[in-house]
Amino acid sequence: MTTNAPRKAFSKTTEHLDSCQLSTALTNEHALSLAEMLASSEPWASLKFSAASLASYLLRDDAALRRYAILVDGNLAGVICVRHPWLRGPYIELLGMSPGYRGRGIGRQVLAWAETEARYEAKNLWVIASSFNHQALNFYQGLGFYPIGPIEGLVAPGFDEILLRKPLG
């Protein structure tokens, strides 16, 4: 007799969405390419993150951090990193899209996927955004996240991050 155990959130290694594919097979080449892109993009450029430090983050061993390359037609388009478990729901540590893929609804679709995954085990989905990153704050709030409050110096000294929560049920 087999029992059907409940599905674990963020347990698949590959996901096929309408506009992209997510894969946990994040290669060194992917990490280096993403790190270069992220280091030259906001908020990481203003926070003075180097490509080397971002590549190290993308490649380090961390059992609670799921990193997914975002691929569009086989091309590297971005990355999402989700910490799970975290507090009372998963925490999106990083969502970054290459400039040529921004504004096409891919990030929105990836976040919808993250929300669906989170619902398997949690009642909340969390994210932070730099207080000066109004585009990110508007993006997340437009998707139902609401600000909990500022956290001083969480990512870099002299900069505030805004913790946002999306209740899932």
Catalogue all structural domains in the chain, each as residue range(s) with its CATH number.
Answer: 23-167 (3.40.630.30)
Instruction: Give per-residue pLDDT as tens, 41-53.
Output: 999 999 999 999 9
Instruction: Calculate mean pLDDT across residues 138-152.
Output: 97
What CA–CA distances, in Å, run from 133 to 42, 123, 144?
Answer: 7, 26, 17
pLDDT at 3 > cutoff 80: no
Least confident of 23-27, 111-115, 139-143, 161-165: 23-27
Residue 133 corresponds to which tokens in the numbers above? 């990153």
Indicate the pairing of strand 75-83 with strand 21-23.
unpaired
Instruction: Give per-residue pLDDT as tens, 78-134.
Output: 999 999 989 899 999 999 999 999 999 999 999 999 999 999 999 999 999 999 999
Instruction: Calculate mean pLDDT across residues 25-53.
Output: 96
Torsion angle (degrees, nearest 10) of CA 51, 57, 60, 63:
-160
Find out whether 136 and 22 touch, Cβ atoms under 8 Å: no
Per-residue burial over 23-57, b = 16 or more CB atoms within 10 Å of its CB, e = otherwise: beebeeebbbbbbebbbebebbeebebebeebbeb
What pLDDT score was predicted for residue 2? 59
Instruction: Calculate mean pLDDT across residues 61-66.
Output: 95
Neighbour-count burial of 134, counting CB atoms closer than 10 A to its CB (0-12 exposed, 13-18 middle, 19+ buried): exposed
- Round to whole Å and give the CA distance between 69 and 75: 10
